[in-house]
Structure 1
Amino acid sequence: MRRFVIIGRKASASEEFFLDDLPSTSGRLDILLRGVRAALLTSHGLRRDAMVYLVLLGGPRAPRVLRIRGDAAKFIRPDERSLATLAKKTLASRADEGASGFVDVKPGIAIARGGLEEVLTDAAGAALFLLDEGGEDLRKVEPLGDGGSTDLAFFLGDHGGFDAETRARLDAAGARPVSIGPVAVHADDVVAIVSNELDRRGAR
């Protein structure tokens, strides 16, 4: 399983945003949704070996985590508005109130109260990587998983990057800093490049 964890420092944890003005009203949830597309969608379908966590730290219902599993989700569209509509409907759910861990809202789509800790618990046993401009070149990391494990989790920030607390927690969890190259690119491009590297390794 390849897991992508995108942390939105101000991304809305509630459905209270406007589809017609997503960047201004959602805490830049649009950035995270582009990461969903890059992680899960190919030109002919969904990656069944991929999962995305959106850690939503903005708004009155924060923190919450929205999780999408490629092996179970249906009708995931590539356009940003459709993804935003899916997020809006999921975040409108109250299924996670008073619950522990992830609660399914629809096939492959789940929500959880909490933030990074919920992800680390759900991804227990995965090899953890922190996407960082100063990290080791991903192409030189061999193997990616401990003992050849193929359960990998990649953590990246939105346009604001990681705050000090998040970085410290990932360091404590043993996340290995890695970089995708010498030029800083958008978060969804980072996801696409990492996915491509994993595809190439799988082909070998």
Structure 2
Amino acid sequence: MRNPVATAIAIAVGMIILIGYFIPLGILTNLRTYLLDWAIGLAGVASLVAIINLVQVHLHKIRDKREPDRFSIFLIIAFLATFVAGLILGPASGTFQNIITSIQIPIEASLMAVLAVSLTYASLRLFKRRKGWMALLFVISTVVFLVVGSGFLSIGSQIPLLRDILGAINMLPIAGARGILLGVALGGLTTGLRILMGADRPYSG
């Protein structure tokens, strides 16, 4: 086994935290709290290192003499402006949060609009290349959700039967999102169990 010490430490720490949730012993609770605090601190340091690395990569792209990346200039300027504003106003400042929200929400809306158009185009290409029932179902669902989400059928909310149908259609994305979250949760649980059993060792390099 490669790096048996790291494997033993990882399994022991994981078991201590897991057992501490089920057995209310004082020493386990305190030890679990200390370990989680260390993990949060290390995660913060890792995030800081990732930010520094991101800035260095884009600075290197700006200094590239052959093909300088001009978009990296905007990223560095936006990062510095956000960082300085956060230091002056504070992360909990209402003014700072309003500024960030006023920029972030329009950008997210634009990206979602681009994603909707891209999915529609991809569904049409899929139906053109593979004329199966799965491609047909994907095309129909894309068109239906685009029409429902556009608000064109808002007049149908006055008709009881059509209102119930539109309500059921609007519930489908919520059900799909919950299914994805359940899949992510089960995948994380399986990965955690494999790490605790030593089957996977991502910490060994």
TM-score, normalization by structure 2: 0.22
Q: Answer 1 or 2: which has greater strand percent.
A: 1
TM-score, normalization by structure 1: 0.22
Q: Answer 1 or 2: which has greater helix percent.
A: 2
